[in-house]
Amino acid sequence: MSIPPAIVAAARMGWHWQWIQLMNGLAPADANGSYRRPPSQHQQATLPAEQELSNRSADQYPRLIIGRSCPWAHRTWLVLQLRNLQSSLTLHLARADHKAGRWQLDPAWLGCNSLLALYQRCGSPPSHRATVPALVDPGTMTSQSPQLLGNESAQLVEVLNLWPAAKDAPDLAPSHLQGEINGWQKLLQPAVNDGVYRCGFARNQAAYDKACNELFDTLAQVDRSLSKKGPWLCGDQLTLADVRLFPTLIRWEMVYAPLFGCSQQPLWGFPHLWHWRQRLLALPGVAKTCDSQAWRQDYFGALFPLHPSNIVPAGPDLAKLVNASAPDQR
């Protein structure tokens, strides 16, 4: 039996109204319907003294707490791997609890089962959201109180680049490239790294079209730059500019194209970016940070307004996808 058109129209109007309410809670927007990321409630990142760190036992190392699916946390994990910081820094994985809407600590640490409890243990204001990444110092024999050393990814990657490491650890932010690194950050953060969210969380067609066009125009600009001065964004040397972009582009076919509507052009349509992504994934330790199944579980399973069924669709094999040759575009 067919459903009368009037009932279908009423249902669509009702669902759209409910969708707007849900989206307002998930992702605030401006008057034009464009997503606006809430102001960051972050702690200014600080670096412990190298001598003080060297005197600690392994169980007293600061911990970098990340969630596998979070692209902002992914940046910090990349720096840890690329600079081999495991001798003075411990990685702690948090699990996304979709029902509770918070990060759980598995296993618990410092008597805390959730990231929120750990933030409170560190003395963070009750109004602050408990987000990843978080760099936490558990305290030493002279100071038993844990301290949140930082929780803003753009700052934390800079701190971790200065973290005590072996002499052969790469410097991802050399002084002579600092201007270029900052320039890429100013371009890529709003248009690409946040741009995929402005596509996915747009409230109307005009807001989506604006975000989508800015996103793909910027990708084309990056592709042209790589064609002239690659293999990395700043030329011959891998830098924090590459680290900050990679988590977004490695999630492209897994999450952002199918769920956020970033589908104006496939990524292989930008051949220099495509090969750049291949090169970075092939670096030692990088593939370990890429869990495509966790990404899809958390994005498709948690973002109810964008995917009400909660069904996690099958996705391509990440290794085969990234290592494939880009199709001939002639």
Contact 300, 310 (CB under 8 A): yes
pLDDT of 22 over the 80 cut: no
pLDDT of 203 over the 60 cut: yes
Which amino acid is present at 163?
W
Beta pairing class for 63-67 and 90-97: parallel
114 is in an annotated binding site: no
Predicted local confidence at residue 104, as pLDDT: 97
pLDDT of 307 over the 80 cut: yes
Predicted local confidence at residue 6, as pLDDT: 83
Would you please indicate which residues are annotated as catalytic (active-site) residues? 70, 197
Q: What is the reported pTM?
A: 0.92
pLDDT of 142 over the 70 cut: no
Mean pLDDT of 271-287: 96
pLDDT of 329 over the 70 cut: no
Superfamily of domain 50-161: Glutaredoxin (3.40.30.10)
Report which listed range, 28-32, 37-41, 147-151, 170-174, is most confident. Answer: 170-174
117 is in an annotated binding site: no
**pLDDT bucket at 4, cuts 50 / 70 / 90:** confident
Q: Do domains 50-161 and 175-323 have the same CATH topology?
A: no
130 is in an annotated binding site: yes
Fold that domain 175-323 belongs to in CATH = Glutathione S-transferase Yfyf (Class Pi); Chain A, domain 2 (1.20.1050)
pLDDT tens per residue across span 148-166: 999 999 999 999 999 999 9
CA 150 – CA 130 distance, rounded (Å): 12
Beta pairing class for 147-150 and 102-109: unpaired
Q: Where are the domains of the chain?
A: 50-161, 175-323
**pLDDT bucket at 126, cuts 50 / 70 / 90:** confident
CA 106 – CA 92 distance, rounded (Å): 8
87 is in an annotated binding site: no
The mean predicted confidence, pLDDT, of the chain is 91
129 is in an annotated binding site: yes
**Which residue blocks in the chain are alpha helix, DSSP H?**
5-26, 50-54, 71-82, 115-121, 153-161, 178-188, 195-200, 205-229, 240-250, 257-260, 271-281, 292-302, 318-323
322 CB neighbour count, 10 Å cutoff = 22
pLDDT tens per residue across span 75-103: 999 999 999 999 899 999 999 998 888 99
Predicted local confidence at residue 288, as pLDDT: 96
pLDDT tens per residue across span 225-241: 999 998 999 999 999 99
Contact partners, residue 99, CB within 8 Å, separation at least 6: none
CA 97 – CA 103 distance, rounded (Å): 6
CA 244 – CA 180 distance, rounded (Å): 13
Predicted local confidence at residue 330, as pLDDT: 45
153 is in an annotated binding site: yes
Quick one: tokens of 35?
Answer: 């997503």
